[in-house]
Structure 1
Amino acid sequence: MDGKVIVVTGASGALGSVVVKAALAKGARVASLGQTAPAAAVANRIELGHVDLTDPIQAKKAMDAAHAHFGKLDALINVAGAFAFETVAEGDPKTWQRMFALNLTTALNASRSAIPYLAASPSGRIVNIGATGALQAGAGMGAYAASKAGVHRLTEALAAEWKGKITVNAVLPSIIDTATNRASMPDADFAKWVTPEELAGVILFLASDAASGITGALIPVPGRV
């Protein structure tokens, strides 16, 4: 990862912040896209805050800014997303729109905006965050699972369209061990959940030169669930 330029969306979240930290530790240079206010740019990192990736114009401006700062882009890691639990019949139709906007549209707009730069890299990579829960939706998981299934199909389509130029893969976590998830499920066995650090390791492998032969893969990372 030494010298690679990586864009991480959702960089201020529980998973995104760990991915950023791990990438920097491996020698990468990182453009962080999150909801926090941007900090001063340093040699190996630039923070681009308050970027609405559901807006294709803002997504393009963010990718252009990252490229202008570093001079290239090698990998895009689409972490930005959200979760909602509600049944189909009793839920709000707006939840479906929100899940598709935050989970699928963000990845679509970020990928479309980064592709021209990634295609110019000798090792262009896109890594998306899917979900094992999208392989077969359970009760209360309809909107979330449908949006993440869309991420899976987006991953496969982009991999086919850019084969030989950009690898495109997705990791499929189960429940990620975060403070929010612990608070919402206090009686669960947290030891079974996948940690952000474990997930970041797989993500950064897929963003590395070592993963040049992998594309179009949906890789479950279920922890011990």
Structure 2
Amino acid sequence: MAKTIFITGASRGFGKLWAKAFLQRGDKVAATARNLDDLTDLIEEFGDKILPVQVDVTNKAQTIEAVKKAHDHFGKIDVLINNAGYGVFGAVEEVSEEEARKQMDVNFFGLLWATQAVLPYMRAQQSGHIIQVSSVLGLFTVPTLGLYNASKFAVEGLTETLATEVKEFGIHVSLIEPNGYETEWGSTSASHAQELDAYTNLKTAFRAGYNPDHYGVPAATVNALLQLVDAPEPPLRLILGKIGYPAVKAVYEQRLATWEAWNHVSTEAHGK
């Protein structure tokens, strides 16, 4: 059965790939972008199956109106995919207040506004699937992406909580956690903080570890996303790519070992 999808950040990268895949299989898509010209090719190919909506996800009122417009137009929203986001590159000390706030506004608050906007419709229909595009960097961190890491850790905490709150309404909630992919995320879509010489050695060492095999092919994610959307009982978390799981496993094994080693201190701190 065809589904109605609302997807943010559909102008490029994962968002555009996924929007097109849904349209090709007969789903209806409300696709948001800051510039609707970026959706011209999809509009020309798919006509009234796509509803292009101009949205700045940091504008709460605009986001609420966009979700209402999509619901009024198609009659329902089966799936929300919060895909809009970008990365700020820079050591924590280097990132300005403006850059930090914008990072959280787009990656966290933009996702929150769309989630809050769609929930009344999904509660009323007693069904729905909210998919948040997080990252493996919401599970562990790498240097020089501190604000991006923080935004995705926030998305993880919010979404895990949300899943427990809306289950009784028949609403499923999932986090997509991609490892690195060959998209514009690290190039034209990225923002770079003003550099301090103190972090040159760190950045040089970090970049020296670059391995092109660690970056997946964006088009290869399409089938995984369709499987997630079609699953009757979708998982809360789905890692995309072959690098993510072993990296997450190693990090969590190290964390568990540390907590175990310090557990006597933790227990004493309980006080009774």
Query: Which TM class, normalised by the smaller chain length?
Result: 0.7 to 0.9
The whole-number CA distance in structure 2 between the counterparts of 1:52 and 1:122 is 28
User: Identical aligned pairs, as a percentage?
Assistant: 29
The whole-number CA distance in structure 2 between the counterparts of 1:204 and 1:36 is 26
Higher helix share: 2
Determine which structure has more spread, i.e. the larger CA radius of gyration.
Answer: 2
Unaligned runs of 5+ in 2: 191-206, 245-272
Cα deviations across residues 59-111 of structure 1 (Å, max 9, x unaligned)?
A: 11000110111111100001000101111123213222111111011110001
Aligned to 1:177: 182
Displacement of 1:188 after TM fit?
Answer: 4.5
Which of 25, 39, 48 is the matching residue for 1:43? 48
CA pair 83-180 structure 1, distance change in 2 beyond 3 A: closer
Displacement of 1:202 after TM fit?
Answer: 2.5
Which of 232, 242, 252 is the matching residue for 1:223? 242
Letter in 1 for 2:233: G
Unaligned runs of 5+ in 1: none
Count of residue pairs the alignment pairs up: 220
Please say if residues 87 and 186 of structure 2, whose CA atoms lie closer than 8 Å, have aligned partners that are also in contact: no
Aligned to 2:221: 199
Matched, 1:52 2:56: yes
CA pair 24-122 structure 1, distance change in 2 beyond 3 A: farther
Which of 189, 194, 214 is the matching residue for 2:234? 214
Which of 168, 180, 199 is the matching residue for 2:173? 168
Displacement of 1:18 after TM fit?
Answer: 0.1
Displacement of 1:179 after TM fit?
Answer: 4.5
TM superposition score normalised by structure 2: 0.73
Structure 1 residues 2-21: aligned runs within 5 Å = 2-21=1-20
Letter in 1 for 2:225: I
Structure 1 residues 8-87: aligned runs within 5 Å = 8-37=7-36, 42-49=47-54, 51-87=55-91
Displacement of 1:14 after TM fit?
Answer: 1.1
Farther off after superposition, 32-41 or 146-155: 32-41
Kindly report the root-mean-square deviation, in angstroms, between the aligned alpha carbons of the 2 structures.
2.4
Which of 133, 153, 158 is the matching residue for 2:137? 133
Letter in 2 for 1:219: L
Cα deviations across residues 187-223 of structure 1 (Å, max 9, x unaligned)?
A: 9543431222233333332222x2x3235x2222133
Please say if residues 173 and 199 of structure 1, whose CA atoms lie closer than 8 Å, have aligned partners that are also in contact: no
Aligned to 2:100: 96
Displacement of 1:182 after TM fit?
Answer: 6.8
TM superposition score normalised by structure 1: 0.88
